[in-house]
């Protein structure tokens, strides 16, 4: 169960594991994608991409006093890792060989590679390709900027961090 500021894995009526990661505060989850039985990609309204890992705790594993995780006799743990920033996702699809497609209705869609090790900026993703999207077009105007009879369409496109101004000759 993913809430606004916490994630809970419910094993049964008396056993659960919950985390409230600081990186998730004031975030609005937009979409998710299941990679396998234990791993999920999560995209939020800020364009941040996370991986949620469900793991089985070892019996010898000591309780981390600094962790934000809590549980009631659960043998499972949750870990949320920040991977990097992408366009604000509407959908995320795992393709194959650590490649994902991030579909966005508010900005450019992207083909992204998930890396096993962080790069110099601490991100685990590499944007391979972007697919231009002008939607949503909030406003537009046809103008002759050079006064030479060559009209151009100027748009106010995108939303939030994806907002752009675009100009096209018509």
The residue-averaged pLDDT of 6-30 equals 85
CA distance 30 to 88: 8
- Strand intervals (E) in 7-90: 7-12, 15-19, 29-34, 39-44, 48-56, 70-71, 76-85
Residue 33's CB is within 10 A of a number of other CB atoms, namely 19
Tokens 């499972």 — which residue? 76
pLDDT of residue 80: 93
Q: Tell me the sheet residues that pair with 141.
A: 154
pLDDT for res 133: 86
| Cβ neighbours of 105 (radius 10 Å) | 15
Count the Cβ atoms, other than its own, within 10 Å of residue 39.
Answer: 16
Kindly list the distances between the CA atom of residue 101 and the CA atoms of 32, 87, 90, 113, in Å, as whole numbers in the listed order: 12, 11, 11, 9
pLDDT at 67: 45
Residue 160: its pLDDT value, please?
78
Q: Where do we find the tokens 């992408």? A: 86
pTM for the full model?
A: 0.79
Please, which pLDDT band fits residue 61 given cuts at 50, 70 and 90? low
């Amino acid at each position: 169960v993913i809430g606004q500021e916490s994630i809970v894995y419910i094993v049964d009526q008396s056993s659960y594991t919950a985390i409230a990661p600081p990186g998730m505060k004031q975030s609005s989850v937009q979409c998710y994608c299941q990679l396998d039985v234990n791993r999920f990609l999560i995209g939020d309204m800020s364009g941040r991409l996370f991986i949620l890992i469900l793991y089985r705790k070892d019996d010898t594993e000591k309780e981390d006093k600094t962790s934000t995780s809590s549980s009631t006799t659960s043998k499972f743990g949750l870990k949320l890792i920040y991977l990097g920033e992408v366009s604000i996702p509407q959908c995320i699809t795992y393709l194959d060989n650590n490649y994902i497609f991030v579909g966005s209705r508010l900005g450019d869609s992207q083909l992204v590679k998930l890396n096993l090790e962080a790069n110099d900026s601490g991100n685990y993703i590499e944007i391979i390709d972007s697919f231009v999207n002008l939607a949503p077009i909030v406003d537009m105007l046809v103008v002759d900027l050079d006064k030479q009879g060559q009209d151009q369409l100027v748009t106010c496109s995108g939303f939030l961090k994806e907002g752009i101004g675009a100009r096209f000759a018509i």
